[in-house]
Chains A and B, each alone.
Chain A
Amino acid sequence: MVTNVTNLGRSGLSDWMMQRITAVVLGAYFIMMLGFFACHPQLSYEQWHSFMGNTAVRIASLISFLAVAGHAWVGLWTISTDYFKPTGIRFLFQAACGLALMVYFVWGVQILWGF
Chain B
Amino acid sequence: MVLTVEDKRPVNLDLTTIKLPLPGFASIIHRVTGFAIFLALPILLWVLDQSLMNEGSFDALQETLNGFLVKLILFAILAGLIFHLVAGVKHLLMDAGIGETLEGARRGAGITIVLSGLLILIAGAWLWLPM
Contacts and interface: CB of A to CB of B under 8 A. Distances in A.
A59 interface: no
B2 interface: no
A23 to B, nearest CB: 5
B131 A41 contact: yes
Given A41-B131, A45-B55, A115-B53, A27 B35 contact: no
Interface in B16-68: 31, 34-35, 37-38, 41-42, 45, 48-49, 51-55, 58-59
Contacts of A24: 92
Contacts of A75: 34-35, 38
A60 interface: no
Contact of A20 (B41, B52, B81, B92): B92
A45 B88 CA distance: 32
B45 A107 contact: yes
Main secondary structure of the interface of B (DSSP, over half): helix
Given A45-B58, A111-B45, A79 B31 contact: yes
B89 interface: yes
Contacts of B35: 75-76, 79
Contacts of A79: 31, 34-35
Contacts of B34: 72, 75, 79
A18 interface: no
Contact of A97 (B38, B55, B85): B38
Interface of A: 20, 23-24, 27, 30, 41-42, 45, 48-49, 52, 68, 72, 75-76, 79, 97, 100, 104, 107-108, 111, 115
Given A108-B45, A111-B45, 14 more contacts: A20-B92, A20-B95, A23-B92, A27-B89, A41-B131, A42-B131, A45-B54, A48-B51, A48-B58, A52-B52, A68-B41, A72-B38, A76-B38, A107-B49
